């Protein structure tokens, strides 16, 4: 408010210093055009009177749709007009209430209807609607000055008290705050303790001199003590290595099953040794023994069944042979009796 008042006073004083204008001042604003009111009939014109007429607003269509005999882009009830306006880059000329062309339509293109766009020179002028520009009275000036002074004194006192030496050490944690101890002596009387029954003792940490040299030398090199004795290594007594142990300690060479860049001919036993199959412990499942026993029992039972079937067939063959012989014997006896007969 004070800045605006000073600026207004400076402009007024500048007007008093400048000479009066010699040329007449022209009013650049055009006179307002009289508003023309036209009453248009709603709906399309009758048939026979539509030469050169084209529907452009929703009221031209009446209650119907487009006119097929008129070769013109028609939008009844504004259907399809929104998509056309979105893709259209041509701005229609608009006129305000005074008849002037509204050039700010170019600036507003692409923005929503609720967006505020400043496009007039009058938008740069400060608005004084509802703002009091009266000079404050003496009481308000004194009150504001007193409040400002109290706030500044409070900030300054806080910074001064924080910058004191004892407060800095306490704030940084280098020194403990003072402690107050209430002391009651055991000997009471007028002759002791200046006649006082209690005393309050203020205990403060002694100030350390930052320039005082260190009292103890901590960088003195001390010779190292003897190291700890090494752990004893226990060895078994030397003995002669047998051929079996030599073969067990024999490590096969590293042979790859995929790469042989130098083209060596490697025997199969070396490949199997390098594969590590000899180091694997093969274990046989117990189910194999059960399977072998079951197969043996099945084989024995099958053999017994075959022997029994063979014995039955042999007995049947012997019985059939005996019957055949008996039959032949009877025929021979019969033939013999007929011949003797």
Tell me the mean pLDDT in the region 151-167.
78
pLDDT at 26 exceeding the cut of 60: no
pTM as predicted:
0.20
pLDDT at 122 exceeding the cut of 60: yes
Tokens linked to 321: 């042979």
pLDDT of residue 327: 94
What is the rounded distance in angstroms from the CA atom of residue 57 to the CA atom of residue 75? 8
pLDDT of residue 152: 93
pLDDT at 81 exceeding the cut of 70: yes
pLDDT of residue 296: 96
pLDDT of residue 31: 55
pLDDT of residue 289: 92
pLDDT band at 169 (very low <50, low <70, confident <90, very high): low
Do the Cβ atoms of 43 and 31 come closer than 8 Å?
no
Least confident of 80-94, 98-112, 216-230: 80-94
pLDDT of residue 315: 95
pLDDT at 72 exceeding the cut of 60: yes
What is the rounded distance in angstroms from the CA atom of residue 286 to the CA atom of residue 134? 112
pLDDT at 35 exceeding the cut of 80: no
Q: What is the pLDDT of residues 254-300, one digit of tens each?
A: 778 788 888 888 888 877 777 767 677 778 889 999 999 999 999 99
What is the rounded distance in angstroms from the CA atom of residue 175 to the CA atom of residue 168? 9
pLDDT band at 39 (very low <50, low <70, confident <90, very high): low
What is the rounded distance in angstroms from the CA atom of residue 91 to the CA atom of residue 109? 8
pLDDT of residue 22: 67
Contacts of 108 (CB under 8 A, 6+ apart): 115, 117, 119
pLDDT at 341 exceeding the cut of 60: yes
SS (H, E, C) 79-134: CCHHHHHHHCCCCCCCECCCCCECCHHHHHCCCCCCCCCCCCHHHHCCCCCCCCCC
Q: For the chain, give the mean pLDDT.
A: 80
pLDDT of residue 208: 78
pLDDT of residue 41: 61
């Amino acid at each position: 408010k004070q800045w605006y008042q000073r600026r207004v006073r400076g402009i007024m004083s500048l007007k008093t210093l400048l000479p009066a204008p010699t040329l007449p001042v022209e009013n650049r604003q055009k006179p307002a055009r009289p508003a023309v009111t036209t009453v248009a009939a709603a709906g399309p014109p009758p048939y026979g009177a539509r030469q050169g007429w084209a529907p452009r607003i929703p009221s031209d269509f009446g209650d119907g749709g487009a006119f097929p005999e008129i070769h013109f882009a028609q939008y009844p009830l504004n259907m399809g007009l929104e998509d056309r306006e979105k893709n259209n880059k041509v701005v229609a000329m608009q006129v305000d209430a005074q008849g002037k062309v509204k050039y700010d339509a170019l600036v507003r293109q692409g923005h929503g209807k609720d967006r505020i766009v400043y496009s007039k020179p009058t938008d740069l002028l400060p608005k004084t609607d509802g703002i009091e520009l009266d000079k404050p009275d003496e009481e308000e000036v004194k009150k504001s000055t007193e409040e400002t002074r109290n706030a500044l004194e409070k900030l300054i006192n806080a910074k001064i008290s924080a910058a004191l030496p004892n407060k800095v050490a306490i704030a940084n944690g280098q020194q403990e705050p003072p402690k107050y101890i209430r002391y009651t002596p055991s000997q009471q009387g007028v002759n002791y303790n200046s006649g006082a029954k209690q005393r309050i003792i203020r205990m403060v940490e002694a100030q350390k001199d930052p320039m005082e040299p260190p009292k103890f030398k901590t960088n003195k090199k001390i010779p190292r003590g003897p190291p700890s004795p090494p752990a004893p290594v226990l060895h078994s007594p030397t003995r002669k290595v047998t051929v079996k142990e030599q073969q067990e300690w024999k490590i096969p060479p590293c042979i790859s099953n995929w790469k042989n860049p130098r083209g060596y001919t490697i025997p199969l036993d070396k490949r199997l040794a390098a594969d590590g199959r000899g180091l694997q412990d093969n274990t046989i499942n117990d189910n194999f023994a059960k399977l072998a026993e079951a197969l043996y029992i099945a084989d024995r039972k099958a053999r017994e069944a075959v022997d029994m079937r063979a014995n039955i067939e042999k007995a049947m063959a012997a019985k059939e042979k005996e019957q055949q012989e008996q039959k032949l014997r009877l025929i021979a006896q019969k033939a013999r009796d007929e011949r003797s007969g």
